[in-house]
Amino acid sequence: MSTPLLEIDGLQKAFGAVIASENLSLDVQPGEIHAVIGPNGAGKTTLIAQLSGEIAPDAGRIAFAGEDITALPVHARALRGLARSFQITSLFPRFTVLENVALAVQAHQGHSFRFWRPAWRDPALIEPAKETLRRVAMTRREDVPAGTLAHGEQRQLELAMALAGQPRLLLLDEPTAGMGHEDSVRMVDLLLDLKQEVAMLLIEHDMDAVFRLADRITVLVYGRAIASGSPETIRTDPEVRRAYLGEEEPA
């Protein structure tokens, strides 16, 4: 086995009596999509928050590409190639679609203490931004203010912004949240396309999406990983079916 891209070891986090992560260990290999599923309140979003650096764990260690990043602030992790998309769409509504992506590109081009030249006329920002929009098939919407996009398109833009910095790992917090069936299928197709280039840690409620995308699945219940393995193993694991999937046949 190669060295994992992301390695979580013994992660521990509690909010008072509520345990969000309990001795949680998992990893993501290069080129892999690792899905984390679990019922509401299992600690999935708290896990993403700890990985991206918004919440500090009580104990445990997070390593990214062999480097211990447990103590790094949010922006430093992002610059190392750990990009995230938000569960609730988080854009710059007054900026156009292109400007949203250009802002994401700019973050990875050194410091922004540049006070003179107009940013949105800088090819060094605009060209990579356009290229990114091409990858998510949003070129036609470039000049539209992000705030006026339909929900599905906003989710696409959300993904484009995460991609713009050419990350090595995407932390995806319910990329299909609130989408209709059609949009959702399109998003999954897009993610499958991207899989060649970037590894993903995926949190998702839509089981169709999870089983189409994931190479590996970890099931989280009350902050604990009760099972981890290939989609087939998870599908047939009796404990998982009892705790999470219920007694009915999974799709």
Partner 1 sequence: MADRKLIRLLPPLLFAVALALLPVLAEAAGRGYLIGVSTNVLIFAIAASSLNLILGYGGMVSLGHAAFFGSGAYVVGILAHHAMWGAPLMVWPFHIGGTESAFIAWPLAILVSALLALVIGAISLRTSGLYFIMITLAFAQMLFFFFIALNEYGGEDGMSLWNRSHAGPLDLNDNTQFFYLVLAFTLALLFLKHRLVNSRFGVVLTGIRDNPRRMRALGYPVRRYQLAAFTLAGAVAGLAGALIANQTEFVSPTFLHWTRSGEILIMVVLGGMGTLFGPLLGAAAFLLLEETLADLTEHWMIIFGPLLLLVVLFARGGLWSLVERLRAALGGGGERR
- Helix (H), strand (E) at residue 212: helix 207-213
Find the binder of partner 1 among 68, 114, 180, 242 (CB under 8 A). Answer: 114
Q: For partner 1, what does the binding mask look like between residues 19 and 58, x meaning CB under 8 A? A: ---------------------------------x-x----
Strands 67-68 and 82-85: unpaired
Q: Considering CB under 8 A, how many residues would be counted as binding partner 1?
A: 36
What are 183's two structure tokens? 């949009």
Report the DSSP beta bridge partners of residue 21: 13
Stretch that binds partner 1, among 116-124, 188-196, 214-222, 229-237 (CB under 8 A): 116-124
Give the C-alpha separation, 75 to 128, whole Å.
20
Give the C-alpha separation, 86 to 177, whole Å.
10
Find the binder of partner 1 among 59, 75, 180, 230 (CB under 8 A). Answer: 75
What are 103's two structure tokens? 């802002």
DSSP state of 245: I
Name the residue nearer to partner 1 (CB basis): 107 or 185: 107
Stretch that binds partner 1, among 5-13, 84-92, 127-135, 237-245 (CB under 8 A): 84-92
Find the binder of partner 1 among 10, 15, 59, 94 (CB under 8 A). Answer: 94
C-beta separation of 139 from 196 below 8 A: no
User: Does residue 88 belong to the site contacting partner 1 (CB under 8 A)?
Assistant: no
User: Does residue 119 belong to the site contacting partner 1 (CB under 8 A)?
Assistant: yes
Name the residue nearer to partner 1 (CB basis): 56 or 192: 56
Apex 244 CA angle, 242 and 247, nearest 5: 45
DSSP state of 243: I
User: Does residue 222 belong to the site contacting partner 1 (CB under 8 A)?
Assistant: no
User: Does residue 144 belong to the site contacting partner 1 (CB under 8 A)?
Assistant: no
Residue 188: other Cβ atoms inside 10 A: 20
Find the binder of partner 1 among 104, 191, 210, 214 (CB under 8 A). Answer: 104
User: Does residue 148 belong to the site contacting partner 1 (CB under 8 A)?
Assistant: no
> Edge-to-edge strand order for the sheet containing 18-28?
18-28, 6-15, 59-64, 67-68
Chain residues that interact with partner 1, rule: CB under 8 A:
52, 54, 73-76, 78-79, 83-84, 86, 90-95, 99, 103-104, 106-108, 112-120, 122, 125, 161, 165
